[in-house]
Structure 1
Amino acid sequence: MELRSSLGRARGLGSAKEGIGHWWAQRVTAIALVPLAIWFVLAAISLLGADYATFAAWIGTFGNALLMALLVIVLFYHAHLGMQVVIEDYVSGHAALITTLLIVRFALFALAVSCLLAIVLVALKG
């Protein structure tokens, strides 16, 4: 028989005061992705059928390289935020949760860095 009330058992199990920051980051990155995605689609359409030299010259301009890098950074950060929520909701067990979160974080980081490195290398050669 437990003498604590329902409120007493619930104390200390409430909000960690981190959810609102995560929620805002998810919304801000989603909003930032809208113009970046539109720019990317229009750029991809304009480059249909172009050869590598044309693409390298296009990405070699500062504005295009900057927008491409911003797209990559915001896209992978947004993906990380979304996948974190899904993993926290559906992976049970503390060890499995932490392991899955670390694997996803490192994989997304490695993909983002490789994309940024590719942008820099092609832009510098173009």
Structure 2
Amino acid sequence: MAAPTIRSLRTPLGRVRGLGAARGGTHHWWMQRVTSIALLPLTVWLVFSLATMPDSTWQQATAWIGRPFNAVLLLAFLAAAFHHTAAGLQVVIEDYVRGEMARLGLLLAVKGVCVLLWLSASLAVLRIAVR
């Protein structure tokens, strides 16, 4: 009697790369959930804070950003928002872009743009807060 063969649900490419169902996707999935949960209270705080100062001058707005509590929450908002954006766009690119090189190029471009925008926004907040 022959031994039963064990079939794998992984694709041949997945077996070669060593990637399975739980190797990379779960971390990405969890980070999407963590950043979305973090963005809920941060977005509510930011919207209500900005809604309370509709007629503020430039000096009042920069003074508001300069408060340590507000600066820290703004930096946390920026980090979570840009991380969440990059991860979400990565999923869209991986799902809909065909061609390995096009996919890789778009992923690098999106992550690069998100990092540059996050750095620019964070430096602007820090520059105002340190004054």
TM-score (norm 1): 0.88
Listed as ranges, the gaps of 5+ residues in structure 2 are: none
User: 1:122 offset after TM fit, Å?
Assistant: 1.5
User: 1:16 offset after TM fit, Å?
Assistant: 6.0
Matches within 5 A, 1:29-108: 29-108=35-114
Listed as ranges, the gaps of 5+ residues in structure 1 are: none
Is the counterpart of residue 117 in structure 1 residue 95 in structure 2? no
- Write the distance in 1 (CA, Å) between the matches of 2:53 and 2:81: 21
- Write the distance in 2 (CA, Å) between the matches of 1:61 and 1:105: 30
- Write the distance in 2 (CA, Å) between the matches of 1:100 and 1:31: 27
Identity %: 38
- Write the distance in 2 (CA, Å) between the matches of 1:100 and 1:92: 11
CA displacement 1:100-119 (0-9 Å, x = unmatched): 00000000111000000110
Q: Which amino acid aligns with 1:83?
A: L
- The two structures, once aligned, show a CA RMSD in angstroms of 1.8
Moved segments of 4+, more than 6 Å: none
- Write the distance in 1 (CA, Å) between the matches of 2:41 and 2:22: 33
Name the count of aligned residue pairs.
120
1:117 to 1:10, Cα distance in 2 relative to 1, 3 A:
closer
TM-score (norm 2): 0.85
Matches within 5 A, 1:14-29: 14-15=20-21, 17-29=23-35
Q: Which amino acid aligns with 1:68?
A: L
